[in-house]
Amino acid sequence: MNSILTACSDGDGPERKIQFLHGTTTLAFKFQHGVIVAVDSRATAGAYIASQTVKKVIEINPYLLGTMAGGAADCSFWERLLARQCRVYELRNKERISVAAASKLLANMVYQYKGMGLSMGTMVCGWDKTGPGLYYVDSEGNRVCGDLFAVGSGSMYAYGIVDSGLKQKDLTVEEACDLGCRAIYQATYRDAYSGGQVNLYHVHSEGWNRVSQSDVLMLHQQYQAEKA
């Protein structure tokens, strides 16, 4: 995560850096019954843990979710603006916006600021008339559709768990939720910049609902007990 105002510091000399909130693990994957979204809740400013209770899933509207990775202010501001644009779309067209269109709106908004130092890696997840939708959008200008994404400093650890769990076909809702939860837990275990709680959401045809919020320490004790 880059910090702003490198222009306002001496070249090689001591720098006065303003610390913003960064570090994370977020993931989302499509499965038979919709989309699972799982995130951690730690925000760091340098080596200091600024908060262990950050809401990294942004509720854009009752059927669209956005995740937060990179700069906390960048993600929450632009996704809040996206929520406004989605509402305007609904009023103008008398129907809900598709996930593809919502993610495109976000991508185009931040593309205008490309190179100026925004830091945002987000996944737009929802359910529209074509079924479950999952797009990855970032401040570099990327926008890709996919079935599985993990974003953030702990993403590699999360990919390991989800890739092996998704090999079995046809997960039930409960199995998919457990998989998402486990993946974030493992990422928090190995990544210093992820931790706090695991927030789990499930997006289905009627919209999204918050499945669980589990403290990582509790999950650790639970998994240790299961191993024994």
Partner 1 sequence: MFVTQVYGDNGKMKEYHYTGPVEHRFSPYSFNGGTVLAVAGEDFAIVASDTRLSEGYSIHSRDSPKCYKLTDTTVIGCSGFHGDCLTLTKIIDARLKMYKHSNNKCMTSGAIAAMLSTILYGRRFFPYYVYNIIGGLDEEGKGAVYSFDPVGSYQRDTYKAGGSASAMLQPLLDNQIGFKNMEGVQHLPLSQEKAVQLVKDVFISAAERDVYTGDALRICIVTKDGIKEETVPLRKD
Smallest distance from the beta carbon of 17 to partner 1, in angstroms?
Answer: 8
CB atoms within 10 A of CB 24: 32
Smaller CB distance to partner 1: residue 49 or 101? 49
| Joined tokens for residue 24 | 């994370």
Smallest distance from the beta carbon of 7 to partner 1, in angstroms?
Answer: 9
| Joined tokens for residue 206 | 């009627």
Rounded Cα distance between 74 and 93, Å, is: 28
Smaller CB distance to partner 1: residue 33 or 55? 55
Smallest distance from the beta carbon of 165 to partner 1, in angstroms?
Answer: 31
Q: Which of 6, 24, 25, 188 is catalytic?
A: 24
Smaller CB distance to partner 1: residue 61 or 76? 76
Smaller CB distance to partner 1: residue 4 or 166? 4
Residues 62 and 204: beta-carbon distance below 8 Å: no
Smallest distance from the beta carbon of 58 to partner 1, in angstroms?
Answer: 12
Known catalytic residue: 188? no
Write the DSSP assignment of 18-58 as a string of letters: PP--B--EEEEEEETTEEEEEE---EEETTEEEES----EE
Site residues (CB under 8 A) for partner 1?
4-5, 8-11, 13-18, 20-21, 43, 45-46, 48, 50-51, 53-55, 71-74, 76-77, 116-118
Residues 195 and 174: beta-carbon distance below 8 Å: no
Name beta bridge partners: 43: 51
CB atoms within 10 A of CB 183: 28
Residues taking part in catalysis: 24
